[in-house]
């Protein structure tokens, strides 16, 4: 499903056999932006979470430091969100392929369109992870 604000994309979660809802936005965003299998991303993030002293799970949210460590291994790096006079940065303000960090949420964004399971297009973007090959 696509509307003017977002494209519904679960990153392969349903195809992996998972049902119901979970706080796995980091897994979904990584799978979409990096073009990887959902299960591969889940396992890598869950292990990184465990290695950082948290539970071995990626379904209940991830700390930014854990998430960033995994993305850095894949060649992705953090950039602060663009600044605008009188308003906050949103997904539509991004270019190329990135993963946006929002309030309590991570979302893959492709050419300014959030790829998500709900319309997160109005959430403020704090910053983004990008791969050097996606920078023009």
Q: Tell me if 105 is assigned to some domain.
A: yes
The whole-angstrom separation of Cα 37 and Cα 100 is 19
Q: How big is the chain, counted in residues?
A: 136
pTM for the predicted model, two decimal places: 0.92
Tell me the average pLDDT across 89-116. Answer: 95
What are the beta bridge partners of residue 87? 84
Q: Give the total number of structural domains in the chain.
A: 1
For residue 51, give its domain range: 11-134
Residue pLDDT, tens place only, 38-65? 999 999 999 999 999 999 999 999 999 9
Dihedral sign computed on CA atoms, order 116, 118, 121, 127: negative
* 99 in Cβ contact with 76 (< 8 Å): yes
Q: Tell me if 1 is assigned to some domain.
A: no
The whole-angstrom separation of Cα 8 and Cα 35 is 16
Average pLDDT, the chain: 92
């Amino acid at each position: 499903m696509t509307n003017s604000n977002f494209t519904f994309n679960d990153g392969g979660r349903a195809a992996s056999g998972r049902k119901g809802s979970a706080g796995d936005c980091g897994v979904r965003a990584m799978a979409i932006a990096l073009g990887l299998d959902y299960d591969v991303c889940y396992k890598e993030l869950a292990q990184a979470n465990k290695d950082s002293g948290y539970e071995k799970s990626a379904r209940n949210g991830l700390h930014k430091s854990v998430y960033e460590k995994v993305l850095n291994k894949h060649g992705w790096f953090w950039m602060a969100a663009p600044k605008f006079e009188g308003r906050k940065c949103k997904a539509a303000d991004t270019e190329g392929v990135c993963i946006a960090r929002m309030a309590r949420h991570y979302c893959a964004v492709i050419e300014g369109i959030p790829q998500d399971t709900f319309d997160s297009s109005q959430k403020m973007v704090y910053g983004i992870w990008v791969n050097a090959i996606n920078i023009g």
